[in-house]
Amino acid sequence: MNVILMGPPGAGKGTQADLIKANFPIPHISTGDMFRDAVSKGTDLGKEAKKYMDSGQLVPDEVTIGIVEERLAQDDCKKGFLLDGFPRTVKQAEALDRALAQIGKKVEAAIDIYVPEDVLVERISGRISCKNCKAVYHLTFNPPAKAGVCDKCGGELVQRSDDQGEAVKKRLEVYAEQTNPLIEYYEKQGTLHRIDGNRNTMEVFADIKKVMESL
Ligand code: ADP
Ligand code: AMP
């Protein structure tokens, strides 16, 4: 199963990826998580990525494509993968197709979760996540049992720096300009599945599950 999860910031990709991971035996690869990890470790990659992330811009294609190719070459991806937040540009999608073709694979499903912009802003502004295990909550839609504390591991819940201020607006603009064209890209390939993400989490997941089971 070689699947990519698309959709604007706040569409629910990470939330759905957690459910997919629990139901299908494929690794979840989130480029956003990989960059945030690198930032928190203070690596060279993290220092480079942080310059773009803080202002809501995309990390340059060369850097992003490189880390994804490295990750896809790891053993656990032999049985398939769930890419979340990659590709985000046509250049990245073409690079992914080339890299997969070299090992006799292809993207089997591009699942696009769509949600109206006002709902995205509401979701992004209320998102909090665990510093330790990265579990994602929402202050209103999915609050933790105890404010500020992760239900799963007891870690501290924090707001992402790019979920505040101007970066939110910028990320939505960047999505519309650079990532939206991928819908047509995958439609032409015949692998696109569009899912209404403006419903409760389990309803959205039921539709995604159907797509995954059809592969
Ligand atoms: P993405 O990975 O696409 O940026 P997330 O999965 O982090 O999105 O979800 C963004 C925010 O919206 C989180 O706070 C999450 O708890 C909340 N959320 C996700 N799916 C839903 C849903 N179906 N209904 C309401 N809130 C949701
Ligand atoms: P996300 O967690 O998917 O919302 O990503 C957070 C940030 O990481 C984005 O705003 C970008 O700065 C960067 N990023 C994540 N994935 C990519 C990608 N495929 N291409 C470029 N930048 C990315």
From the alpha carbon of 162, which atom of ligand 2 is closest?
A: 10
Looking at domain 2-115+178-213, its CATH superfamily turns out to be P-loop containing nucleotide triphosphate hydrolases (3.40.50.300)
Q: Which of 36, 50, 123, 127 is catalytic?
A: 127
Pocket mutation for ligand 1, best pick of 5, 20, 34, 127 (most atoms within 8 Å of C-beta): 127
pLDDT (0 to 100) of residue 16: 97
pLDDT (0 to 100) of residue 174: 98
Rounded to 10°, the helix 181-189/90-102 angle is: 30
Q: How remote is the CA of residue 59 from the centroid of ligand 2, in Å? A: 7
pLDDT (0 to 100) of residue 45: 96
Percent of the chain with pLDDT over 70: 100
Percent of the chain with pLDDT over 90: 97
pLDDT (0 to 100) of residue 149: 98
Our answer to whether residue 13 is catalytic in this structure is yes
The β-bridge partners of 37 are none
pLDDT, averaged across the chain: 96
* Mean pLDDT computed over 168-193: 97
Residues 6+ apart with CB under 8 A from 96: 4, 65, 68, 83, 86, 87, 107
Which residue, judged by its Cα, is nearest atom 10 of ligand 1? 10
Q: Which of 21, 105, 134, 160 is catalytic?
A: 160
Q: Which of 36, 50, 88, 123 is catalytic?
A: 88
pTM of the model: 0.96
pLDDT tens, residue by residue, 68-98: 999 999 999 999 999 999 999 999 999 999 9
